Amino acid sequence: MCGNEAMSESAIQAGCDAYFGYPITPQNEVTAYMSKRMAEEGRVFIQSESELAAINMVFGASATGKRSMTSSSSPGISLMQEGISYLAAAELPCVIVNVMRGGPGLGNIAPSQGDYFQAVKGGGHGDYHCIVFGPSGVQEFVDVMPLAFDLADIYRIPVMILADGILGQMMEPVTIPKNSKLKTKNSKLPKKDWALTGAEGRKQNIVRSLWLADGVVEQHNYDLQAKYRQIGKNEIRCEQYKVDSADIVVVAYGIAARIVRGAVDKARQQGIKVGLIRPITLWPFPSEQISKAAEELRIFLVVEMSCGQMVEDVRLAVAGKSPVVFWGRPGGGIPTVEQVFEQIRELTIKPKKK
């Protein structure tokens, strides 16, 4: 199974009631897989007429309390931004998978990490966030799906999985958890008493994002921010690899982190003290973990498949306590272990005195 298919099956096992999507490379295996499997499960699959429609179908299903998802790749995710802003405003849970490709524009169909800003800073209009995961292997791509659906329900928030063309296309042996719609952190999933189910025997429910009265949207924003702070307290996930004794700390996420890990191992074999911090949640960002690592004077090297996006969040976290260096390849360029190793090695060379 490729990553796209394995992730899709994991979503089904996590109780996804409805999938809506529009074909775009490199995530077409998702729509094909879902069209077959969702029908087998008696659930809903629709190939929509556009990504605009897909995200609004998600909105509709989610507003009635159903677990729903969509997937796309970079240009299609751009089209969805309107809907994602509305989902965030109306506090509707859903899962959105972005199998990133090279951009900007139509770009290419090669793997990339150029959509980090769009994913973690909001992306659409207004002050909002989605929870964003950046899995770095097919197993993690699979494992994150039930968690994404649970967190979406618990916090009433859109959750985005930021994958890339390699993760989507790569085949690895995986274990897909069965019937994984469970409780997260022992807390029961909240009752969806806000959902539109027909107002039988109760007052009407309204799902909305417009409030014209003075100050109501301002207050709504404060409430959203309070929720985001709560998520920031509870949901940060991050892996640290050989950081304790390291002089150099590489920060990377997703498939880039997988490549960096290889370079770290190679550098360690040659006696270079280097470690890896790998954010698993990109929003909320593991700022505290990075800040803590920066308390000792170290060099931070941020490696991304972009021109440097996450590096801004790393700099904010490091806050001048240590130097932060960036290296990356945009537009579908894939870093090799050798290239990353070379970047690490260069950082060990002391600058020549003038």
Going by the DSSP 8-state scheme, the letter that residue 189 receives in this structure is P
User: Which is nearer to other proteins, 86 or 300 (by Cβ)?
Assistant: 86
The verdict on 86 binding other proteins (CB under 8 A) reads yes
Spell out the residues 6+ positions from residue 272 whose beta carbon is closer than 8 angstroms to its own: 247, 248, 344, 345, 348
User: What is the nearest approach in angstroms of other proteins to the Cβ of residue 20?
Assistant: 7
Judged by CB under 8 A, the chain residues 275 through 294 that form the site for other proteins are none
**CB-count exposure of residue 64 (10 Å: 0-12, 13-18, 19+):** middle
Q: How far apart are CA 152 and CA 190, in angstroms?
A: 11
What CA–CA distances, in Å, run from 257 to 275, 279, 340?
11, 9, 10
Reference 257, options 228, 231, 235, 286; nearest CA is: 286
Task: State yes or no: residue 331 binds other proteins (CB under 8 A).
Answer: no
Shortest distance, position 45 Cβ to other proteins, whole Å = 9
Please tell me whether residue 199 binds other proteins under the rule CB under 8 A: yes
Residue 78 or residue 169: which is nearer to other proteins going by CB?
78
Smaller CB separation from other proteins, 89 or 157: 89
Structure tokens at 351: 């600058």
Using the minimum distance from each CB to other proteins, give the nearer residue, 220 or 321. 220
Nearer to other proteins, 205 or 348 (CB): 205
The sign one gets for the Cα dihedral 171, 174, 178, 179 is negative
Q: To the nearest whole angstrom, how small is the minimum distance from the Cβ of residue 55 to other proteins?
A: 8
Pick the closer one to other proteins by CB: 60 or 323: 60
Residue 108, sorted as left (phi over 0), alpha (psi -120 to 50) or beta, turns out to be beta
- Does 250 interact with other proteins (rule: CB under 8 A)? no
Among 42, 105, 173, 198, binds other proteins (CB under 8 A): 198
Q: Is residue 132 within 8 Å of residue 97, measured between CB atoms?
A: no
Binds other proteins (CB under 8 A): choice among 42, 191, 206, 233 = 206
Residue 229 DSSP class? H
Q: Which is nearer to other proteins, 44 or 337 (CB)?
A: 44
Least Å from the CB of residue 63 to other proteins: 5
Q: What angle do CA 84, 303, 4 make, to 5 degrees?
A: 50
> Which lies closer to other proteins via its Cβ, residue 210 or residue 297?
210
Rule CB under 8 A: say whether 348 interacts with other proteins: no
Question: Could you tell me whether strands 248-251 and 18-21 are parallel, antiparallel, or unpaired per DSSP bridges?
Answer: unpaired
Regarding 200 and contact with other proteins (CB under 8 A), the answer is yes
The phi and psi torsions of 47 (rounded to 5 degrees) equal -85, 110
Question: Across the strands, what pairs with 240?
Answer: 277
Work out how close the CB of 90 gets to other proteins at its nearest, in angstroms, rounded to a whole number. 8
Tell me if residue 194 falls in helix, strand or coil: coil
| Footprint (CB under 8 A) of other proteins, residues 42-81 | 44, 46, 48-50, 52-54, 56-64, 66, 68
Which one-letter amino acid corresponds to residue 154?
Answer: I
Count of residues that bind other proteins according to CB under 8 A? 40
Name the residue nearer to other proteins (CB basis): 18 or 303. Answer: 18
Give the whole-angstrom CA distance, residue 137 versus residue 65: 30
User: Nearest approach, Cβ of 86 to other proteins (angstroms)?
Assistant: 5
Footprint of other proteins (CB under 8 A)? 17-18, 20, 44, 46, 48-50, 52-54, 56-64, 66, 68, 82-83, 86, 90, 196-201, 204-210, 212
